[in-house]
Structure 1
């Protein structure tokens, strides 16, 4: 017998809370599930998740949000990937592009064909075969045409740089139009029933809010999932050294480029995120190797443009909840876990968690096996992203500071060790269904860190070297010819989606 949820209460606004309300209001349309957001006027949004990955486009499409309107409302710019400065050694850069790299060669993985071409004396770069990388290099951009038959136009992908506070405001207004209830209040007390399920919330205005299900978007403090339900946090600090970030905003001092910049520093790394109206800057660091004052000085020394606000230090513990779904509560955003923003995955994890939640949406029977399967699925996502971030540190050859010396001997998860070993031996990174980072992403980081496999696939020796070289050279020319016909990134924004002032 059906026993569906009749109500979902989201505690906390911000990016996580309003993304949840937006997506769930779309997914539950016609189901008579009442969605309520309790948003405290006294708790500020952290608002630093301003660089995204291509899944943001899936979120917008699923929620039927007009892209042009969203970009204008959030002062967004486009993002084709991340440029990593000084990671492998000082003064060197590499790029992690979105989308596909290369065009398949007779069914073989393109990376293998490229390795074979190198052995034959070809001198082209891995990134020469990435439309997104070449677009970023020339600061070109256009939205990808729908169902394009052109392999170059169908190969690139993009995300957005956006103002997180403006995103929350935009989604809040949209949710009001879609019938989501909002209560402006602070939760004072959480009451559990005899089975340790959340029964109701007592607010600071003395109102009581009951609901069948609750989503905890209360940030690092985890008011529901941790304080009330006592779900423990799995600490990954031994695998990822950084535990603090200092953030500041500056005036836009030029035309925004279509990529994020992540620059390695003495005790971590700094980011630069160019929006239409300003630039977001931050320094993620380890307080084992740098104090707050030193970090603020490093950040302010390296920013450009007039500083718009006082630097703010945000402490964090890398890791995740041991259960993200427990009883009648889902932890979301910072309440569920935190992985440093090196690959801009915070908003992606919010979206992916919600997608899993909708797929495994509980009813009022709250089947424990359903909960278990959900938690297994989201654990896989967290571990994949964790390992990909660790990859950036453990492959660096820098040893010019105590922080980077620590990275030389850092603990590497077994799951990552296996991946690196297989790559070094055979040049293979397996594409697993449901994973976020494709093999092309792994190849881009490993190539950027100057790690190459010992061998390519043996059957590629059957390829005629000259024919392979001609095919690959044609790929490079086609990409460059296509990209150079595109408008400049800044011109495209000005013509199609200039921000509202």
Structure 2
């Protein structure tokens, strides 16, 4: 006989993670009989709220929630994002774009990069960016939605994400979640009550004396990891030997500089600086290693490299790269920072929340809380973290920089096994292997390996079936078609105006 269904879900913590979970659960399973979803948060407890850049998977999440894209962009003061520009990562003065979408065209049954690599050997000097509609449009400040109805156009290969105000996104989702029946409770959790027989969390107790009982608890309490870490004692797997940055300082500033639909990451002597242009301001932050730079120096460096005037006091964060050994223990599932942290170099924080929610929905438990579902959730969640970790380490490991102690440490790192295998394959033959449908595609791995200066010794022999002249002709044609298409695209500002996505101008330059 089936165990009883879950009737009471309690989400501890708001912010982006909490309200993403509340909006998704109420949308997907909110009609189940007698189900209640309660979210408890305290206005007195701030949220980290610096993760403003996303990757294309968020489009699917928003569609699942029935969100109108133009309304979402307008309400969250969002801009579009066609990729991430990496400046000074390979060496000072060098830059490249990790684009969303693909490069060029696959030909003769093999991937495009093999023809590009052959072209490099023939003296074709154009960078890989020139073959990507997303990279070239991003650098030109232009935006258009993909056109799958035009399969012969580079626009059919374009992909995009968003850059938005995380606090506004949380409020946007809160309105939707509450309209779908989620009950928000204001209060600070001061104690946790556990079941004496099975150790499950039975209730959380608030400062005002209120008791919130539940059957399934979602820990969205941020770095505190109040339920999973503090209460249930789930340990933390520390990856700081591979990812030594452990501090961040974030500060928004007024609009200035270019307005490209790209997130920018600029390498610094002991870490890197992010730049995320929104409609009303620019989000900025400096991620650094406290073993290699003092806080005041890190702050001074950040403030000296803003495109506008600061709009708020700097927000200082401390963290360790890694994850909880289990993200689901007993009747507690952790989402967001409560489950782990990987620096926002590739804008994966919101995706990890999204993937955790999707996995929970696929493996949603009964009151029996069977081991099979919980174990699979944990295996797949940890694998997500490992895959992203390896991709992040690539940026640090593959570099020519040796101008600081930090970069000398990073370039001599012994890479994790999965990254070592990918590097060996690419260096041997230009092949990019994507394992188990992992998050980052072949395009992503290719862009960063090539952008960070990893040089293959060869390429697929089928690329030799085109003679030298035909290889050059085809590569030149692809570059020209991409450039011509970009020239006809609207600017991002024109695109926002055309779609009614522009925020109220009176709100510009307001944090």
The structure 2 residue matched to 1:297, chosen from 295, 300, 303, is 300
TM-score by structure 1 length?
0.97
- Aligned counterpart, 2:276: 273
Structure 1 counterpart of 2:251, from 248, 272, 280: 248
Cα deviation for residue 280 of structure 1 reads: 0.6
**Number of residue equivalences:** 501
Larger deviation, residues 415-424 vs 426-435 = 426-435
Given that residues 140 and 260 in structure 2 are in contact (C-alpha distance below 8 angstroms), is that contact kept between their aligned partners in structure 1? Answer: no
Matches for 1:181-330 after TM superposition, within 5 Å: 181-193=183-195, 194-254=197-257, 256-330=259-333
Alignment of 1:322-471 (within 5 A): 322-471=325-474
Cα-to-partner distance string for 1:440-486 (whole Å, 9 max, x where unaligned): 11111111122121011123223333333333322222222212111
Per-residue deviation, 1:434: 2.6
| Preserved CA contact (<8 Å) 2:154 2:482 | yes
For the residue of structure 2 that corresponds to 1:9, the secondary structure is strand
Greater shift after overlay, 112-121 or 486-495? 112-121
Q: Which residue of 2 aligns with 1:118?
A: 120
- CA distance in 2 between counterparts of 1:4 and 1:268 reads 47
Q: Which runs of no fewer than 5 residues in structure 1 stay unpaired? A: none
Partners of 1:292 and 1:313 within 8 A in 2: no
Equivalent residue, structure 2, for 1:9: 10
Secondary structure, aligned partner of 2:191 = strand
- Cα drift, residue 151 of structure 1: 4.0
Query: Are the equivalent residues in 1 in contact too, given 2:141–2:259 (CA < 8 A)?
Result: no
Change in Cα spacing, 1:244 to 1:426, as seen in structure 2 (3 Å) is same
2:175 to 139, 154, 173: 173
Paired with 1:440 and 1:81, the residues of 2 have a C-alpha distance of: 12
Alignment deviations for residues 262-310 of structure 1 (CA, whole Å, 9 cap, x no partner): 1111111111110000011100000101111111111111112111111
- Matched position secondary structure for 1:154: helix
Deviation at 1:422, TM superposition (A): 1.1
For the pair 1:90 / 2:96, whether they are aligned, the reply is no
Preserved CA contact (<8 Å) 2:83 2:100: yes
Closer, same or farther in 2 for the Cα pair 1:67/1:34, shift >3 Å?
same
CA contact (8 A) 1:39 1:185 kept: yes
SS at match of 1:436: coil
Q: 2:502 aligns with which of 485, 498, 501?
A: 498
Residues 62-100 of structure 1, C-alpha deviations (whole Å, 9 max, x = no match)? 111111111111110011111111111111111111111
Q: Structure 2: state its 5+ residue gaps.
A: none
Q: Equivalents in 1 of 2:164, 2:219: separation in Å?
A: 23
RMSD: 1.4
Per-residue deviation, 1:160: 0.7
Please say which of residues 238-247 and 33-42 is displaced more in the overlay. 33-42
Distance 1:176 1:70 in 2: 17
Q: Is the 8 A contact 2:429 2:458 kept in 1?
A: yes
Note if contact 1:77-1:256 (Cα within 8 Å) is conserved in structure 2: no
Shift of residue 362, structure 1, vs aligned partner: 1.4
Question: CA–CA distance in 1 between the matches of 2:426 and 2:69?
Answer: 38
The alpha carbon displacement at 1:147 in A equals 4.5
Corresponding residue to 1:54 among 53, 56, 75:
56
Matched-pair contact (CA < 8 Å) for 1:238–1:411: no
* 8 A contact 2:426–2:432 mirrored in 1: yes
Q: TM-score, normalised by structure 2?
A: 0.95
Q: Is the 8 A contact 2:26 2:177 kept in 1?
A: yes
CA distance in 1, matches of 2:474, 2:36: 57
Q: 1:307 and 1:230, CA in 2 relative to 1: closer, same or farther beyond 3 A?
A: same
Superposed CA deviations along residues 27-61 of structure 1, whole A, max 9, x for unmatched, are 21422332111111211111100111111111111
* Cα offset, 1:499, TM superposition: 1.1
Query: Deviation of residue 223 (structure 1)?
Result: 0.5
**1:477 match: secondary structure:** helix
Mean Cα displacement is larger for which, 17-26 or 472-481?
472-481
